[in-house]
Amino acid sequence: MTRRSSPGKGALADDLALLLEAAAEAGAIAMRYFRKSPEVWMKNGRSPVSEADYAADAFLRETLTAARPSYGWLSEETADTAARHAAKRLFVVDPIDGTRGFLEGGSQWCVSLAIVEAGRPLVGVLQAPARKERFWATKGEGAFLDGARLEVAAPGKPPQLAGPKPMVDSFGKSWPGGVSRVAYVPSLAYRIAMISAGRLDATFIKPNAHDWDLAAADVILSEAGGRIADVAGNWPVYGTPVTSHEALAAGSGALLDAMTSELAAYVDA
């Protein structure tokens, strides 16, 4: 039986309510530009950012920092400063995760918002307005998709894996019965949420994913019974001076444990 819940229970209810409201409005802002050829720039010559990203980011920064002035701020589209290191809690934000997909007119992108404390996410919200979906979780309170409680699924035979083709193909040679590689999902956060919802069994995450790509989806997956792990099986730590991560895997159970050993070839010595 599907269990349904309203957001806003538990000690982190106010923070969750704040993120849910802000994510909904940021999603609405992004939708004003969706499939309307927004202006685009290239960051570092290789990563696109659009006026939709900047508009959503400006709204989120103003709204969230005004509501919680003691919280630090880390966003993909805001210049990072050391000021955030003095804060006990930290907003970790990607105004549009999956910008390439957004610009191509696909629906697999989302607003990603998290609150991090002591290196781990306490609250996470993913708003996917083009799909009319909203995922959320608070630590110890479960993970939800539009009110329905989420739980990772038992891996299929063969399991459905996402991520970089070389990583998936290499792992498939060693996993009994092989694996089924799913089509590319442009938003990493949404891809991890798919695991939480039982639509996908696991994913590899190539090196150089950032805090803002992962933190919100991390707490959603962990509350659904899965996790993100590095080559040593450790959880990612967020909010440090270095916001990027080495290769990771996300999933659950024995499948995830086996996937982490595949990461060794992609981790810097």
pLDDT in tens, 171-226: 999 999 999 999 999 999 999 999 999 999 999 999 999 999 999 999 999 999 99
pLDDT band at 3 (very low <50, low <70, confident <90, very high): very low
Task: Evaluate whether the domain defined by 160-266 bears CATH number 3.40.190.80.
Answer: yes
| Ranges for all domains in the chain classified under CATH 3.40.190.80 | 160-266
pLDDT in tens, 117-158: 999 999 999 999 999 999 999 999 999 999 999 999 999 999
Q: How far apart are CA 7 and CA 95, in angstroms?
A: 21
Alpha-carbon torsion angle 123, 127, 133, 139, nearest 10: 0
Q: Which residues of 4-15 are buried (b: 16+ CB within 10 A; e: fewer)?
A: eeebeeeebeeb
| Ranges for all domains in the chain classified under CATH 3.30.540.10 | 13-149
Q: Taking 60 as the threshold, does the pLDDT of residue 13 lie above it?
A: yes
For residue 11, the model assigns a pLDDT of 65
Which CATH number describes the domain made up of 13-149? 3.30.540.10
Q: Taking 90 as the threshold, does the pLDDT of residue 54 lie above it?
A: yes
Average pLDDT over residues 160-176: 95
pTM given for the model: 0.94
Average pLDDT, the chain: 94
